[in-house]
Structure 1
Amino acid sequence: MISFSLSCENDHEFEGWFRSNDDFETQKKRKLVNCPVCGSHKVEKALMAPAVSTGRRQEKIALAVSAQQREALAQLKALSEKVRENSDYVGDKFAEEARKIHFGETEARGIYGEATLEEAKGLADDGVDFMPLPVFPDDRN
């Protein structure tokens, strides 16, 4: 993922994450990129310094969001917390345990844990219903 410094026609500055420059250009043409402050779709890449890793702790990245987006994030976080509170944590055995539940080898119950991308693809191929839980910045502290 590439982080671009962006600005709109009203000189509001913000960041956006994209897979590539082509991804940014495609989304911009489809009017999927807009300013989080004023909603303008006239967005351009701004000059930016390259990111150089110095080994020091990275600064936290701020996200400019509207009141409606903040409320949606708060609801998403509350839902994620509720799912965790009402499920068993199975750690890195998530894929194995999810398959056992799916195929009736163990009691059906809510679980959460970690899975690699390869394990997640395997679960999807096997028809196992699951979904990723969002990780919020303060979940990592």
Structure 2
Amino acid sequence: MIHYALKCDQGHDFDSWFQSAAAFDALAQAGHLACSVCGSAEVKKAIMAPRVVAKSAADRPDEAAPEAPVPLLKTPQGDIELAVAELRKKVEETSDYVGTDFTREARAMHLGDVPERAIYGEARPDQARSLIEDGVPLLPLPFRPRQKLS
């Protein structure tokens, strides 16, 4: 996997992960990349410094301590990113994260086996399809849950 800083023709900065440099090139050439802020299809790699991490303190004689890790996602830009950030905050504050038990928990609540409560978690597409076919109300989230369970 490779992480690229990206920039659209409207000047919005964002980032994303790609399977490889060739995968980025193929997606860009096919027109499958879009700005996460405005949706522009004119996306190019932005200038970025390589992120190299030394293996031990002995490998960094001039440094007393390693720098704090750089967050992968920048602060939200634009109305869409702000709305998604607000939705994430509300979901995390008002719902229980059930991780990969989402399918089991949602079905148990639907059948009345456990009390209803607001939950969110992770499900494979086939599991979500099965829940929908069984009449279980669910909604995909526009973000990946943060890992809370071990």
Q: TM-score, structure 2 length as denominator?
A: 0.51
Q: Secondary structure in 2 aligned to 1:58?
A: coil
Alpha-carbon separation, structure 2, partners of 1:31 and 1:64: 26
Q: Per-residue deviation at 1:127?
A: 2.1
Match of 1:77 among 85, 88, 92: 85
Q: Secondary structure in 1 aligned to 2:143?
A: coil
Give the conservation status (yes or no) of the 8 Å contact 1:77–1:136.
no
Q: Secondary structure in 1 aligned to 2:131?
A: coil
Structure 1 residues 48-104: Cα deviation after superposition (integer angstroms, max 9, x where no partner):
6464454644223464875x3xx22221122223334443x2545544322212334
Q: Does 1:59 align with 2:70?
A: yes
| Count of residue pairs the alignment pairs up | 124
Q: 1:131 to 1:49 in 2, by over 3 A?
A: same
Q: Per-residue deviation at 1:108?
A: 3.6
Q: 1:34 to 1:48 in 2, by over 3 A?
A: farther
Alpha-carbon separation, structure 2, partners of 1:124 and 1:40: 30
Give the conservation status (yes or no) of the 8 Å contact 1:99–1:123.
no
2:44 equivalent in structure 1: 43
Match of 1:100 among 98, 108, 126: 108
Q: TM-score, structure 1 length as denominator?
A: 0.53
Q: Per-residue deviation at 1:25?
A: 1.4
1:124 equivalent in structure 2: 128
Give the conservation status (yes or no) of the 8 Å contact 1:6–1:45.
yes
Give the conservation status (yes or no) of the 8 Å contact 1:8–1:43.
yes
Q: 1:53 to 1:99 in 2, by over 3 A?
A: farther
Q: 1:103 to 1:60 in 2, by over 3 A?
A: same
2:61 equivalent in structure 1: none
Structure 2 unmatched runs, 5+: 57-65, 133-137
Q: 1:64 to 1:43 in 2, by over 3 A?
A: farther
Q: 1:77 to 1:136 in 2, by over 3 A?
A: farther
Give the conservation status (yes or no) of the 8 Å contact 1:7–1:35.
yes
**RMSD of aligned C-alpha atoms?**
4.3
The one-letter code matched in structure 1 to 2:4 is: F
Structure 1 unmatched runs, 5+: none
2:62 equivalent in structure 1: none
Q: Per-residue deviation at 1:106?
A: 2.7
The share of aligned pairs that are identical, in percent, is 22
